[in-house]
Amino acid sequence: MDVSGFMRYLKDSSESGQTQGDSVLVGKLGVKEFMVLTAGGSPIFHYSVTDERKLDELLSGFLSAITSFASEFGEKSIQSLTFEGSELLYEQFGSDCLFIFLVETGSSENVLRAILRELSKRFLTRYKTELGMEIPVLDVFMDFENEVRGVFTYYEGVLLVTSSLSSFVIPQVMRENLDEAIQSGGFLDEFHRDMGGSGNRILSAIDGKTSIHDMSRNLGVADEEISKVVEYLAIRGLLKISKLCPVIKENDARFDAYLDLIGLPNKDYQLLDRAKSLCNGTRPLVEVSERLGVVPERLYEVLEKLGDEVNWNFIEVTGLVEEP
């Protein structure tokens, strides 16, 4: 079978048997299957979220051939294949096993690649002795299913948290965790490969005081790009994230006199007057803006004009750094 024929086969396999129930079971991560192959292309572990396995031996042989071709010609950038409805992500560590995700098209590749590497490292560490055998005993690897389920559940929870965050949050690097990731080897290369040059700029700008919104203005980089980097780091347990909660210092005659002094436009004054009681330091800016019926950027613009008359409390987002 040639490559075009193989891709038609993948498309047909993806379309057949795809049900709404399958989509629900796949969950937030979008992972359908996880497979481990030996360097020679033999499958030794296979986990399917839906109990339906589309990654069969034909696919295994094809991926093994692609990897061998890429290695022979010194090309390491071939790490995914896309076809209608699904995508294959795969990683290989030296001459060791090949690790593969079958995922839904449109899933967060950077996040999934971090999870794939996490599972790969765990598998290689856990089964170092067994993988050294000339003929591995496949039953030995079956108990890795429990670890896969645990990792998927944990990261899906983290992704649910990070994907719901706005640009008005404060990311803060957990220095010890980052140093440990760097010292363990490979992280900086992976980060540069996944996030590119802008990723390094964004990482350097994370100071624990500046929101994603302000970082975007300072760096001239879109909020979405910064959010991708924040999500990538957070899902690896390298960041703390806090929501930005405004608190207005004064709400009396002196405060009104201050507003007159700075010459706040009438439409801004009206919005601020409605926001006073809500900006108590316990409600995130986004929540306050929703109650007022305005976009967060509009409320933030008005509060910025108050300068030191507004304090900003940081309320940490939970559920990001617990071990899976």
User: Which CATH number is 295's domain given?
Assistant: 1.10.10
In single-letter form, the type of residue at position 200 comes to N
pTM: 0.72
Residues 85 and 227 occupy one common structural domain: no
Contact between residue 123 and residue 99 where contact means Cβ atoms under 8 Å apart: yes
Per the domain annotation, does 271 fall within a domain?
Answer: yes
Tokens, residue 271: 């919005």
Query: What is residue 212's predicted lDDT score, i.e. its pLDDT?
Result: 96
* Tokens 């809500």 -> residue: 278
Residues 24 and 132 occupy one common structural domain: yes
Q: pLDDT per residue over 45-90, tens digit each?
A: 999 887 777 776 556 566 666 666 555 545 454 566 666 677 888 8
Residues 109 and 69 occupy one common structural domain: yes
Residues 219 and 302 occupy one common structural domain: no
Query: What is residue 253's predicted lDDT score, i.e. its pLDDT?
Result: 59
Residues 27 and 152 occupy one common structural domain: yes
Residues 190 and 48 occupy one common structural domain: no
Tokens, residue 264: 């706040």
Residues 43 and 62 occupy one common structural domain: yes
Angle between helices 109-126 and 144-163 (to 10 degrees): 150
Q: Which residues pair with 81 in a beta bridge?
A: 88
Q: pLDDT per residue over 125-146, tens digit each?
A: 999 888 888 777 888 899 999 9
Helix H or strand E encompassing 87:
strand 86-92
Q: How many domains does the chain fold into?
A: 3
Per the domain annotation, does 259 fall within a domain?
Answer: yes
Per the domain annotation, does 323 fall within a domain?
Answer: no
Residues 186 and 62 occupy one common structural domain: no
- Structural domain of residue 288, as residue ranges? 244-316
> Which of 209, 242, 275 is where one domain is finished?
242
Q: pLDDT per residue over 182-233, tens digit each?
A: 887 778 888 888 888 889 999 999 999 999 999 999 999 999 999 989 988 9
Residues 175 and 308 occupy one common structural domain: no
Query: What is residue 320's predicted lDDT score, i.e. its pLDDT?
Result: 61
Helix H or strand E encompassing 46:
strand 43-48
Residues 152 and 19 occupy one common structural domain: yes
Residues 38 and 77 occupy one common structural domain: yes
Residues 131 and 248 occupy one common structural domain: no
Closest Cα to residue 271, out of 313, 249, 304? 304
Tokens, residue 5: 């024929």
Q: Checking DSSP bridges between strand 169-173 and strand 239-248, what pairing results, if any?
A: antiparallel
Closest Cα to residue 139, out of 148, 130, 147, 151? 130
Q: Return d(Cα 313, Cα 219) in angstroms, integer.
A: 24
Contact between residue 64 and residue 90 where contact means Cβ atoms under 8 Å apart: no
